[in-house]
Amino acid sequence: MNVKLKPEKYLRYLVPLHLFGARRTREILNQNPTIIPLREDSKEVKITVYDYNATSIEVHELKDVTECSRFLGSETISWINIDGIRKADVESLCNYFGVHPLVQEDILSINQRPKMDDIDNILFCLLNMLYYNSEKNTVEQEQISIVLGNNFVLSFQEDANRDVFNSLREKMKLNNSRIRQGGADYLCYTMLDLIVDHYFLVMESLGDQIEDLEEEVVRSATQRSLAKINQLRKELIVLKRNMPPVRDLINGFIRSDSDLLDDRSTKYFKDIYDHIVQANDLSETYRDMMINMHDLYLNNVNLRMNEVMKVMAIVTCLMAPATVIGGIFGMNFESFPWHSPYGFIGAVAFMLFVPIVMLFVFRKRGWF
C-alpha cells in the first residue's frame, strides 16, 4: 500500500501546489547580481535618438550604435534610448560617451540593486520599472539604466517590446512643452518621475488584490485564501526590495553637487523624493495589512472548525443519556419494577425529556 505516491487523494484537502507558487519563490530569491555572463543578448534591439533643443527636434531610429557617435559634443540635447541590451552595443556606445567600465558592467548586469553613481563627470542610475502582471498576479521588473552626461542622456531598457517612456515622447514632440525648455537633467528627472509614478499604479493593482482577498477571507476562508495571502506577501517583498534603494537613489541626486544638475532641478528631484517616500510608507501599510489578514484567516478557519466540533460534541452528548436509559430498560432482570403498559412510552418520553432539559441548560449558558 503506497500512500505517499498518491497525493491526489490527500490533496483534496489541500490546495493545488502551483497556487503557492514555489517557482515564484525561486524567482524572488534568485538575486545574484554578479554573474554577468548569464545575460543573453536580446534578439531585438531598437535604438532611437531624440536630438532637441527648445526650438527644434530631430527624431532618428538608428540601426547601429556606431551611428550615435555624431551626437557626442553637439550643442543640442541628445537622448539615446536602447531597447534590448547587447553586450557589444552597450560597450561601444558607452566607450564613445566616456562611460566608466564599472558603469558598463552595471548596465549589463542583471538583478542589480537600484543604485546611483557619480563617476568621471557622469551621473549614472539603475533602477527597476515595475509592471503588474494581471494574469499571474505577480509584480514584474524591468531593469532600466540611465546615464546623464553633458548634454546627453543614455537610457537602456531590457525589453524591446514595451517602452516605459512612450508618454514622454509625445510631450517631447510639442515645441512649447516644459521638457523641451529644460536641459538634460530635466529629461533625466522626467524619466525617473515616470518610473516612480508607475510604482503607484502597480501598488493600486496590488491594493485591489488585497481588497478582494480580504472579502474572500471574511466570507469563506479556504486553504486557497492562505495560498493567495502567501503569494501576495511574496509580491510585497518585490516592492520592499525596490522602494528604499530608489529612495536613496533619488536622495543621491538631491545631495549631488555635480555640475550636470542645475540648482533649480533640486526641487524637482525633491518632488520625486516625496513620492517615493509615500510609496514606501504605503508598502509598509500593505505589509501590516497582510499580517492582519493572516490573523483574520486563522481566526475564521478556527471559528468554523470550532463551530463544527461544538455541534458534534453537543449532539453526541445529548444522545448519551438516551443510550443509558435504553441500557437501563434493556437489562435482563426478571424482577422489573414498572411493568405497566405505559412503561415503554414513559421510557421513550424520558429519553426525549432529558436531552431537551440539557439543551435548555446549554442554551441558557450561551454555549451555542
Using CB under 8 A, which residues numbered 300 to 329 contact a copy of itself? 300-301, 303-317, 319-329
Residues 73-112 that bind a copy of itself (CB under 8 A): 100, 102, 112
**How many angstroms separate the CA atoms of 94 and 115, rounded?**
18
User: How big is the chain by its Cα radius of gyration, in Å?
Assistant: 34
Shortest distance, position 315 Cβ to a copy of itself, whole Å:
5
Residues 335-364 that bind a copy of itself (CB under 8 A): 335-337, 339-345, 347-348, 351, 358, 362-364
**How many angstroms separate the CA atoms of 83 and 156, rounded?**
6
**How many angstroms separate the CA atoms of 199 and 336, rounded?**
86
Q: Site for a copy of itself (CB under 8 A): which residue of 43, 61, 263, 330?
A: 330
Exposure string of 325-339, with b = 16+ CB inside 10 Å and e = fewer, is: beeebeeeeeeeeee
Q: Site for a copy of itself (CB under 8 A): which residue of 271, 349, 356, 357?
A: 271
**How many angstroms separate the CA atoms of 336 and 158, rounded?**
94
Residues 35-74 that bind a copy of itself (CB under 8 A): 35
Residue with cell 501576495: 232
Contact call for residue 296 and a copy of itself (CB under 8 A): yes
At residue 157, the 3 state secondary structure works out as strand
Residues 237-256 that bind a copy of itself (CB under 8 A): 237, 240-241
Residues 13-32 that bind a copy of itself (CB under 8 A): 13-15, 17, 20, 22-23, 25-26, 28-32
Rounded to 5 degrees, what angle do the CA atoms 52, 174, 153 make? 35
- Mark the segment that binds a copy of itself (CB under 8 A) among 52-60, 67-75, 146-154, 269-277: 269-277
Contact call for residue 270 and a copy of itself (CB under 8 A): yes
Shortest distance, position 334 Cβ to a copy of itself, whole Å:
6
Shortest distance, position 180 Cβ to a copy of itself, whole Å:
15
**How many angstroms separate the CA atoms of 349 and 24, rounded?**
63
